[in-house]
Chain A
Amino acid sequence: MLKWKKWMSLSMAGVVAVSLLAGCGPQRDGGTTAKEGGKEEKPKQLVIWENKDANHLKHTRKMAKEYEKKTGIQVKVIDVDILKQQEKLTLDGPNGKGPDVVTWPHDRIGEAVIKGLIQPIEVEEEVTDQYNESTIQAMQYDGQLYGLPRNTESIALLYNKALMKQPPKTFEELIDFAKKNTDPAKKKYGLLFEGENFYYDYFVLDAFGGYVFKELDGKLDPADIGLNNSGAKRGLQMIGSWYEDKLLPPGLKDDTVNGLFKEGKVAAVINGPWAVKDYRDAGIDVGVAPIPKLNGKDPRTFIGVKGLYISAYSKNKYWATDFLQFLTGKEALQDRFKTTGEIPSRKDLLEAPIVKDDPLVAGFAGQAAQGTPMPNIPEMGQVWDPIANAITFVAKGKQKPEQALDDAVKQIEEQIKTQKQ
């Protein structure tokens, strides 16, 4: 018995040793494969991943055909969910199955750059000048341009025309209106929005001088957080006063806001373009306007920008950049607006009658044009919850705005530290 075991272990050890000796890794040729400079050859085909949405695909397929007519390069459009493209690219890219062009919301650019999924692009300044400034800012990370903006999205003031004839000129007037038209006992409200979600509140903090991360030359500094400066505190004080005056009930959720608005019990809400169809289906005569001036300034809401980027694995950088410009050109974005209803990022289209004269779109477009992009560095992921919690504590009267924001920023800093540990 003993001997048997000894034999076995000896032989096992032998086999393991042999296999370990064999395991000396892949054979690699020593020389680095440095690419030669110069203009690359015209590829036969470009591959683009477009969001899995019938309208998005319809537009992009049409554009692909036109691009082929123009340049002779065949474009293959593959449908991949916009939020799954990064994950898929991390697997497909190294295997050489990846696309040349990808798309996702701009706030995921930082993550993609850190993972090495996309590469910076080089275009002339006259090209970038065609787009709304804030959308180009959204496409920058660490001072470099990583893509071209296609569409932009912002919240705005949505009002029930039966309960509010004209949107007020200033936010102060809007609050006065809300005070007169709110009666919580009857579930009647003048103004409702998801106040404990930082996304909807940012413009108030911003109006008094608060900011998330300090921006310098297209770089965001995660070490400089402006969410507990005096401006941000004044902003949160103001938000807190709305809860104190019972204009907004604490613990308010998106669903509740929508439900009450559809029942015709709310005069105005702050919400995004995604809500409009639902409201109109419920038979509400909806008007859309930019959010009225707060503290004498046009409120700068958070905007989301959907951009097009070039995969780090693409070998056709020059032509992919050309294709990017084609897809974000005037004709292409006009077609996209007609097909999908998304607000274009180009200045010339924002001024065009097709956008300006559509009452529902003009409000969102106007607000988007004056908005500020959500920070696209991954540290932003650590900001949402603590700040939302701070607002909740203030809304419930558990903490003063000063204390709440100081605590939140401390927590954000600690979480960023842990995230980078």
Chain B
Amino acid sequence: MRTQTGSALSVSFIGEGGFTIVATDAKLTMQPERPSSFHRRRAALLSILVMGLGQIYNRQWWKGFSFLIAEIAFLIASFDFLNIGLWGIVTLGTEPFLDHSVLLLAQGIIAVILIIFGLGFYALNIRDAYRVGRMRDRGENPPTLRETYRMITDKGYPYLLVTPGLILLTFVVVFPILFTVAIAFTNYDLYHSPPAKLVDWVGFSNFVGMFQSPLWQNSFISVFSWTIVWTLVATTLQFALGLILAVLIHQKGVRFKKFFRTVLILPWAVPSFVSILVFSGMFDDNFGPVNTMLQNIGVGEIPWMTDPMWTRVALLLVQIWLGFPFSLALCAGVLQGISSDLYEAAEMDGATAFQKFRRITLPLVLYATAPVLITQYAFNFNNLNVIYLFNQGKPAVPGQSAGGTDILITWVYKLTFDTHKYNYAAAVTLIMSLVLMLVSLYQFRKTRAFQEEDLIQ
């Protein structure tokens, strides 16, 4: 029992500093025959029973009653909502036309979030009662209203400021994610659409079904592999080009640095969807300027839009053009910050230009840009714009439902809007997010390991 007093509940609204004098005074009046854990146990138990009761027991009247009122208000105000929501998320409705499964699901998720918030507050209430009880056990006086207020505005101030943002974040970010996850485990498609039909929970059968149909199997494997290739090649090349150009401009002998930097940033300044549509016209097989030019110099026409391989090449070129200015700007910034001492020292040791690049520039740039580079990979993994605007994922490939240049995200888009397989679309989205999360997590961890090598003081 005694070990509890040393419990490591360090983050709390109830600070202990500043009460030492009060505490020593109170110790004199303490009744020695009571067990040392008497108040804290009783207060916590009462708080579990009804919110605020423990505080009232601790003679923190204001806090106790406001907790009590908060609980009653929460239950009265949201009982119907929570009731329908919980019932809805479990059953997804029981009568077609009367119950709208998708709306019930949404309400259910909100209800669960609200309950979690409520439980979190409830837990805080219990812990608060417990801690104040412990203070009393030690013979300290529980903090007065004014002290509590000061504590909240003082130590809890950051939390107070963060809370509204956190709540907003929960509904804007967490809610849609939960909704997508939930849809992936239902049979929500055209033939199970409210109001005429109810949606049901189907467990993992979407994932199983997707991999069992040969048409989808083929599509998924080819789409997935092209997505990986696309992400790696497009991102790496756009970064490499940006880095090389930045290094070239950064050379000492180069004049008109500002001019070059400005010109090379221009592709970034044009809205990308405009440039993509223009490129789509330029690469037209029969009437595009690219092929006209190639023909004039004797190379001949290249089926940019109708052959999957060439469309992929064209897409990579377009993405590199769209993406390198960002890397250029980033790398140029980092290069400015590298101390010239390093290069001078290397020159003293007789390093060649390539060695200086390989041993000094590259590691330092990569170190500084690694987190951004990872987000660039994630961005290209989900780069719907380029693929969809350039050629809608076409050209077609015999024997599969996706086009030759469809990446996962464009395929999901088509699944949702063309075939109304919302459940499959959600399932593919889940798989996609899992892959992205794992890769990003792994890379970010590696970046941190990098950091510990202490490359830069």
Taking beta carbons and an 8 Å cutoff, which residues of A are in contact with B? 1, 3-4, 7-8, 10-12, 14-16, 19-20, 22-26, 90-91, 93-94, 111, 114-117, 184, 187, 249-253, 255-256, 259-260, 312, 378, 381-382, 385, 388-389, 392-393, 396, 399, 407, 411, 414-415, 417-421
A389 adjacent to B193 (CB under 8 Å):
no
A89 to B259, CA, bound (A): 56
A421 to B213, CA, bound (A): 10
A237 to B420, CA, bound (A): 33
B286 adjacent to A12 (CB under 8 Å):
no
A11 and B91 in contact, given A378-B420, A382-B419 (Cβ under 8 angstroms): no
Give chain B nearest CB distance to A419 CB in angstroms. Answer: 5
A16 to B100, CA, bound (A): 25
A259 to B287, CA, bound (A): 11
B83 adjacent to A8 (CB under 8 Å):
no
B91 adjacent to A25 (CB under 8 Å):
yes
B86 adjacent to A415 (CB under 8 Å):
no
A90 adjacent to B195 (CB under 8 Å):
yes
Residue from B115, B197, B398 with most neighbouring chain A CB atoms (10 Å): B398
User: Across the interface, which residues of B come within 8 angstroms of A14, CB to CB?
Assistant: 48
A259 to B103, CA, bound (A): 46
User: Across the interface, which residues of A come within 8 angstroms of B103, CB to CB?
Assistant: 91, 94
The chain B residue sitting closest to A32, CB to CB, is: B95
A221 to B5, CA, bound (A): 77
The chain A residue sitting closest to B418, CB to CB, is: A381
Q: Name B61-120 residues within 8 Å CB distance of A.
A: 79, 82-87, 90-91, 94, 96-97, 100, 103, 115, 119
Describe A's contact surface by its main secondary structure: helix
B399 adjacent to A187 (CB under 8 Å):
no
A8 and B4 in contact, given A114-B190, A414-B215, A418-B421 (Cβ under 8 angstroms): no
A389 and B398 in contact, given A8-B126, A12-B119, A414-B215 (Cβ under 8 angstroms): yes
B193 adjacent to A115 (CB under 8 Å):
yes
Additional pairs, 19, CB under 8 Å, beyond known A1-B7, A94-B103, A421-B209: A8-B123, A8-B127, A11-B48, A23-B86, A26-B87, A114-B191, A115-B190, A115-B196, A116-B195, A117-B195, A187-B287, A249-B286, A252-B286, A256-B286, A381-B419, A389-B396, A392-B306, A392-B396, A411-B401
A23 and B195 in contact, given A11-B48, A249-B286, A378-B420 (Cβ under 8 angstroms): no
A415 to B420, CA, bound (A): 12
User: Across the interface, which residues of B come within 8 angstroms of A249, CB to CB?
Assistant: 285-286
A125 to B189, CA, bound (A): 36
Interface string of B353-395 (1 = CB under 8 A from A): 0000000000000000000000000000000000000000001
Give chain A nearest CB distance to B97 CB in angstroms. Answer: 6
Give chain B nearest CB distance to A110 CB in angstroms. Answer: 9
A53 to B395, CA, bound (A): 35
Residue from A24, A25, A392, A407 with most neighbouring chain B CB atoms (10 Å): A25
User: Across the interface, which residues of A come within 8 angstroms of B183, CB to CB?
Assistant: none
A4 and B285 in contact, given A11-B122, A388-B396 (Cβ under 8 angstroms): no
A250 and B285 in contact, given A1-B4, A114-B193 (Cβ under 8 angstroms): yes
Give chain A nearest CB distance to B308 CB in angstroms. Answer: 12
B421 adjacent to A419 (CB under 8 Å):
yes
19 sampled A-B residue pairs with Cβ under 8 A: A19-B82, A19-B86, A23-B82, A25-B87, A26-B84, A111-B420, A249-B285, A250-B285, A251-B286, A251-B306, A255-B281, A256-B286, A389-B396, A399-B398, A411-B401, A415-B401, A418-B216, A419-B419, A421-B213
Interface string of B182-209 (1 = CB under 8 A from A): 0000000111011111000000000001
User: Across the interface, which residues of A come within 8 angstroms of B115, CB to CB?
Assistant: 16, 19
A90 adjacent to B87 (CB under 8 Å):
no
User: Across the interface, which residues of B come within 8 angstroms of A388, CB to CB?
Assistant: 396
User: Across the interface, which residues of B come within 8 angstroms of A421, CB to CB?
Assistant: 209, 213
A214 to B127, CA, bound (A): 71
Q: Name B382-431 residues within 8 Å CB distance of A.
A: 395-396, 398-399, 401, 418-421
A4 adjacent to B398 (CB under 8 Å):
no
Give chain B nearest CB distance to A396 CB in angstroms. Answer: 6
B285 adjacent to A114 (CB under 8 Å):
no
User: Across the interface, which residues of A come within 8 angstroms of B84, CB to CB?
Assistant: 25-26
A23 adjacent to B87 (CB under 8 Å):
yes
B287 adjacent to A256 (CB under 8 Å):
yes
Give chain A nearest CB distance to B283 CB in angstroms. Answer: 10
Neighbour of A11 across the interface among B7, B126, B197, B287, CB < 8 A: B126
The chain A residue sitting closest to B95, CB to CB, is: A28
Give chain B nearest CB distance to A108 CB in angstroms. Answer: 11
A7 adjacent to B126 (CB under 8 Å):
yes
User: Across the interface, which residues of B come within 8 angstroms of A389, CB to CB?
Assistant: 396, 398
Closest 10 CB pairs of A and B: A116-B196, A389-B396, A23-B86, A25-B87, A11-B48, A251-B285, A249-B286, A414-B215, A115-B193, A1-B7
